[in-house]
Amino acid sequence: MQKATIQLETLTCPSCIQKIENAVKSLEGVDKESLSVLFNSSKAKFNFDDEKISIKDVENAITALGYEVKKSQVKAL
Amino acid sequence: MLQRECRRGGIALQRYILSKKNHITLISAILLIIAFTSKLGFGNIDIFIWSLAIASLLGVAPIAIQAYQALKVKVVSIDVLVTIAVVGAFLIRNFEESAIVTFLFLFGAYLELRTLNKTRSAIKELTELAPESALKQMGNGEFEEVEVEEVDIGDILLVKTGAKVPVDGTVLSGEGHINEASITGEAVPVGKKKDSQVYAGTILENGTIQIVADRIGEDTTFGKIIELVEEAQDSKSEAERFIDKFSKYYTPAVLVLAIIVWIFSRDIELAITILVLGCPGALVIGVPVSNVAGIGNGARHGVLLKGSEVIGDFSKVDTVVFDKTGTLTIGNPKVADKEIYAENVNEVLGYLASVEKESDHPLAKAVIEHIGDTKLYTVESTDVVKGGGIVAQVDGHRVAVGNVLLMEQENVHLDDKARADIARFEANGNSLVLTAVDGKLKALMGIRDQIRPGVKADLQKLKKLGVKNLVVLSGDNQGTVDLVAQELGLTEAHGHMLPEDKSAYIGELQAKGQIVAFVGDGVNDSPSLALAQIGIAMGSGTDVAIETSDVVLMNSDFSRLPHALGLTKATANNMLQNIVIAVGVVIVLLFSVFFSEWMNMSIGMLVHEASILVVILNGMRLLRYKLR
């Protein structure tokens, strides 16, 4: 398992949070329980299984929603 | 293949439109101006209608894309409601409404972004202090600039004048002065030389040093502070989690309500107006905005608050329990009272200082510090009397320095005045140091731990803020504790207490229904810090303090305590105001759509967007909060 922190563009609407949450949750290999999308710091934090999904796939899912990914960090758990 | 190309093209177009949102908003505004000048100024209805239609189509594009993306991940967002409403208005050829609503929605979003950035600015300023690069010694002995993530424990780093210290470390060589304001809140530069500790995020104001990395990244003191504040700004209270859950069902419910109204009344105008009015924006945004501004204000003033739950609890505190040493007092004994019974004052003080230099007793340190620079004499044959003091030969005189017991042993005569002074000094809570030269009493000094300057005024402020009970718990003897309590106007004082007695006593207070905050140094008192509803650590940014407490007062600055309490009260109030504003606006809007003549989609959108801005601006007031 890997722990990821994705820095997004500044989030302004609360429904952005819900959208990003739903999009990332629906991805195979992302630990749903660990996911939190933070409104004020505009970050998404979650754990994922790097054998099933790569960080790039998650980033793409978020950019496809129209949100810019600024930086992502992955650490082994 | 072709299909994939198209899809990619579609996504690119979507992103292009979204990235031009500000331009679209501006063009919409211009089209609206053209429309209304041509209608009101020239009576030209064609240009009026065409301008509005174009403004509607242009303006709804980014909103519709967002709505589509939301629906794709099964979220009924505000964008969905607004898109349906605008499309509905367009279909019934009410271009005026559709154009104004899209413009207000886009312009509102723009203003929200600007103002939200402002409320978040205090915390952002803090996180931007994080060091990004370091000069690391490579295999060949040369220093190269690397990203701070590439520094490992044990690496040797070079820090030049004006640069940020990249990690927590120890100075290997070189000297300089460091501004540690980012850690301690204290802006006076601190001198550093070999073996001094340096901290990540502090700035080397002059000199050049080489350091070895001890702690890196999130393990550094600064890293921990940032992590704490970042988590705090997004931490949610029970009430907020409820609002979040509620809003998840609320938006789809508005959609259902609009459909029902449309089915029964066959009035599209009414149905789409409900869609616009039902948007929950201000409710969801109100509390986080107060939270981030309140915590940001704290971070700027050396008060770290761990989240909105802490804000809620702290604002209700009615009992504050203090540890004495190091909290109410400085923790550094000083000469508080003195009497000299000699003409040749300087000579006596010189003898005293010379003898005390031989001792490492804490009282001796206080005496030397008090006397300061003076002529020193050669000390011959010192003799330490256990439980009494020191007897020495100085400059051909027999000098005895110690307590009353030693004076009796040395057959020093204590006259009535001396006895009265001794009694008075003891009543003030002093430890005594007497000095006799050749069997005659020459000086009497009373030494005690000093109360922190300004503490009394700060405690008064706490009382004014509604704290009823101010309690001191200490390991010292009851007499000393009573004196401190009396001097500071505390309501209760208990001495002879071990750390476990303190936490047991806090438990008793809580059983009586009091909401207790405990203020301690964060090292010996962690059980009490943990047990109290609010644990407040007076830490100079120490690890233990940061981890075990709910509130950290940086740089051990007691004067920040009233600010912290006032701030949490103001923030809790602010959250409540925002909830009332948000709920109030939705109720008034929904009520007036059914019972008034003047309500329509445009006014609804205007009020809705205005209410969002009002809660953000209201939250922003917290950034400027200052205790009066």
What tens digit of pLDDT does each residue of B196-254 get?
889 888 889 888 999 999 988 888 888 888 887 777 777 777 777 787 778 778 888 88
Specify the higher pLDDT residue, B445 or B481: B445
* A40·B291 Cβ contact <8 A: yes
Q: Which domains does chain A have, with CATH numbers?
A: 2-76 (3.30.70.100)
CA distance B13 to chain A (A): 11
Chain B nearest-CA residue for A44: B234
**The predicted structure's pLDDT at residue B563:** 93
Specify the higher pLDDT residue, B342 or B211: B211
Q: Is the dihedral of CA B107, B111, B113, B116 positive or negative?
A: negative
Q: What is the mean pLDDT of residues B491-496?
A: 87
List chain A residues with CB under 8 Å of B285: 13-14
Q: Is the pLDDT of residue B541 over 60?
A: no
**The predicted structure's pLDDT at residue B443:** 92
Q: Is B323 among the residues known to form the active site?
A: yes
List chain A residues with CB under 8 Å of B613: none
Do the Cβ atoms of B340 and B323 come closer than 8 Å? Answer: no
Q: Is the dihedral of CA A21, A25, A29, A33 positive or negative?
A: positive
Q: How confident is the model at residue B582 (pLDDT cuts 50, 70, 90)?
A: confident
The radius of gyration of chain A's CA atoms, rounded to the nearest angstrom, is: 11
Residue whose tokens read 């307590």: B403
List chain B residues with CB under 8 Å of A18: 70, 75, 77, 248
Q: Is the pLDDT of residue B524 over 70?
A: no
Chain B nearest-CA residue for A40: B234
Q: How confident is the model at residue B171 (pLDDT cuts 50, 70, 90)?
A: very high
A45 touches chain B (CB under 8 A): no
Percentage, residues of chain B above pLDDT 70: 95
Q: How far, in Å, CA of B526 to CA of A65, rounded?
A: 46
Q: How confident is the model at residue B507 (pLDDT cuts 50, 70, 90)?
A: very high
**The predicted structure's pLDDT at residue B213:** 92
Q: How far, in Å, CA of B83 to CA of A77, rounded?
A: 43
Q: Is the pLDDT of residue B364 over 90?
A: no
List chain A residues with CB under 8 Å of B14: 66
A71 touches chain B (CB under 8 A): no
CA distance B73 to chain A (A): 6
Q: How far, in Å, CA of B70 to CA of B380, rounded?
A: 88
Indicate the pTM of the whole model.
0.76
**CA B165 → CA B76, B131, B555, distances in Å?**
48, 7, 19
Nearest CA among B303, B354, B372, B292 for reference residue B618: B292
Phi and psi based region of residue B334 (left: phi greater than 0; alpha: psi -120 to 50; beta: remaining): beta
List chain A residues with CB under 8 Å of B113: 10, 12
Q: Is the pLDDT of residue B445 over 80?
A: yes
Q: Is the pLDDT of residue B436 over 90?
A: yes
A60 touches chain B (CB under 8 A): no
A40 touches chain B (CB under 8 A): yes
Q: Is the pLDDT of residue B532 over 80?
A: yes
Beta strands in B231-350 (DSSP E): 303-305, 319-323, 329-340
* B117·A10 Cβ contact <8 A: yes
Measured in whole angstroms, how far is the alpha carbon of residue A73 from the centre of its chain?
11
Q: How far, in Å, CA of B533 to CA of B313, rounded?
A: 7
Q: How far, in Å, CA of B537 to CA of B535, rounded?
A: 6
Percentage, residues of chain B above pLDDT 90: 21
Do the Cβ atoms of B282 and A14 come closer than 8 Å? Answer: no
* B591: number of Cβ within 10 Å: 12
A1 touches chain B (CB under 8 A): no
B347-361 residues labelled b (16+ CB within 10 A) or e (exposed): bbbbbbbbbbeebeb
A26 touches chain B (CB under 8 A): yes
Instruction: Suggest the residue from B65, B148, B234 to mutate for an interface test with chain A (most A CBs closer than 10 A).
Output: B234
Nearest CA among B469, B536, B538, B527 for reference residue B498: B527
Q: How confident is the model at residue B618 (pLDDT cuts 50, 70, 90)?
A: very high
List chain A residues with CB under 8 Å of B117: 10
Q: Which two tokens stand for residue B509?
A: 């207070």
Q: Which of B463-472, B551-560, B567-576, B603-612 has the lowest mean pLDDT?
A: B551-560
Nearest Cβ partner for B292 among A13, A14, A40:
A40
Q: What is the mean pLDDT of residues B516-522?
A: 83
Q: How confident is the model at residue B187 (pLDDT cuts 50, 70, 90)?
A: low
Q: How confident is the model at residue B617 (pLDDT cuts 50, 70, 90)?
A: very high
Nearest CA among B172, B296, B188, B179 for reference residue B232: B296
Nearest Cβ partner for A15 among B15, B77, B123:
B77
Q: What is the mean pLDDT of residues B123-138?
A: 84
Residues 6+ apart with CB under 8 A from A59: A6, A69, A72
Q: How confident is the model at residue B79 (pLDDT cuts 50, 70, 90)?
A: confident
List chain A residues with CB under 8 Å of B120: 40
Per mean pLDDT, which of A41-45, B231-235, B563-567 is the most reliable? B563-567
Instruction: Suggest the residue from B4, B11, B75 to mutate for an interface test with chain A (most A CBs closer than 10 A).
Output: B75
* A14·B247 Cβ contact <8 A: yes
* B281·A26 Cβ contact <8 A: no
CA distance B246 to chain A (A): 13
List chain B residues with CB under 8 Å of A12: 109, 112-113, 116
3-state secondary structure B343-377: CCHHHHHHHHHHHHCCCCCHHHHHHHHHHCCCCCC
Q: Is the pLDDT of residue B608 over 60?
A: yes
Q: ipTM exceeding 0.95?
A: no
Q: What is the mean pLDDT of residues B26-41?
A: 88
Q: What is the mean pLDDT of chain B?
A: 85
Do the Cβ atoms of B156 and B172 come closer than 8 Å? Answer: yes
* B74·A18 Cβ contact <8 A: no
Q: Is the pLDDT of residue B2 over 60?
A: no
Q: What is the mean pLDDT of residues B103-110?
A: 87
**The predicted structure's pLDDT at residue B242:** 81
List chain B residues with CB under 8 Å of A64: 11, 69
Nearest CA among B40, B31, B78 for reference residue B605: B78
* B113·A23 Cβ contact <8 A: no
Chain A nearest-CA residue for B149: A73
Instruction: Suggest the residue from A11, A40, A62 to mutate for an interface test with chain B (most B CBs closer than 10 A).
Output: A40
**The predicted structure's pLDDT at residue B540:** 56
Q: What is the mean pLDDT of residues B515-529?
A: 80
Which of B79, B313, B323, B458 is catalytic? The answer is B323
> Counting one residue from A and one from B, how many pairs have CB atoms under 8 Å apart?
68
Q: Is the pLDDT of residue B501 over 90?
A: no
A77 touches chain B (CB under 8 A): no
CA distance B277 to chain A (A): 17
Residues 6+ apart with CB under 8 A from B446: B335, B336, B337, B338, B425, B426, B428, B430, B431, B432
Residue whose tokens read 């505009």: A42
Q: Strands B329-340 and B203-215: what pairing?
A: unpaired
Q: Which of A19-28, B326-335, B345-354, B508-517 has the lowest mean pLDDT?
A: B326-335
**The predicted structure's pLDDT at residue B522:** 59
Q: Which two tokens stand for residue B104?
A: 């207000």
Determine the length of chain B. Answer: 628
